[in-house]
Amino acid sequence: MHAPTETVTEPDGAQLELTDIPIRPAAMPLRHNKVVRLEHIRDASIEERGTLLSLLYDVLVENWRQARFGPCIQGAVFELELDGPPRLFSLLDGYLTVSLGDGPAHFHLCIGSHQGLQTETSSELARHRQCARAAFYRRFSADGCVPGSWGILLWNGAEEQMITLYLPSPFLDDRLKPMREPDWSRLALWNQLRARYLGETEPQPIPEVV
């Protein structure tokens, strides 16, 4: 069982427990100006995809029903969700593009080596844009007893948050309504992902509820 990398006290007193995910680059040959499409990503192994592409594929494609996502900073929280598997999930010049439905809405995340397409991107700006850290998180209430949420955080090279991936909580149902009793089976995806990306062989202990 991996000990948290760090525990951060947030401004409201909540405790954010972070466990870093080792980031391994993609082993598949990639040309920065050639699109890698969903069908090729689907057929690749975790080693071929690299950690970040594989992790985002697992959450947003394989388990899209269970995930919400978006930036989360002081004063602005986005909790978006997909209504089906993304029709567009592709990689170009280090940027992952994910569609949000049948319309034009989509988002980009820089998760790999980035050079620029029309003009060359400076190495300093490329390092700023590219994801440099990923971590599993549990957010505990201000009294430090009951976890409020489970998920994954990504930061860029300037330590700015890129996206939060919200995983199912045992305290909330699929409509985000409080449950009378915690349903610990809702941590299945959390434990599956930790096993896959941290190598854990046992689920995390159920936290004490008071």
Question: Could you please report the per-residue DSSP string of 78-145?
Answer: --B--SSS-S-EEEETTEEEEE-SSSS-EEEEE-S----SSSPPPHHHHHHHSEEEEEEEEEE-TTSS
pLDDT of residue 209: 54
pLDDT tens across 2-57, in order?
A: 888 999 998 888 889 999 999 999 999 888 889 999 999 999 999 999 999 999 99
Percent of the chain with pLDDT over 90: 71
Separation between Cα atoms, residue 14 and residue 16, nearest integer Å:
6
Name the more confident of 142 and 63. 63
Full set of structural domains in the chain with CATH: 6-198 (3.40.1570)
Quick one: which H or E segment has residue 185?
none
What's the mean pLDDT in 160-167? 97
What's the mean pLDDT in 175-190? 92
pLDDT of residue 147: 59
pLDDT of residue 210: 43
Q: How far out from the chain centre does Cα 162 lie?
A: 9
Quick one: which H or E segment has residue 187?
none
pLDDT tens across 100-115, in order?
A: 988 899 999 999 999 9
Rg of the chain taking only CA atoms, in angstroms = 17
What does the mean pLDDT of the chain come to?
Answer: 92
In this structure, are residues 203 and 191 in contact, taking their beta carbons and an 8 Å threshold? yes
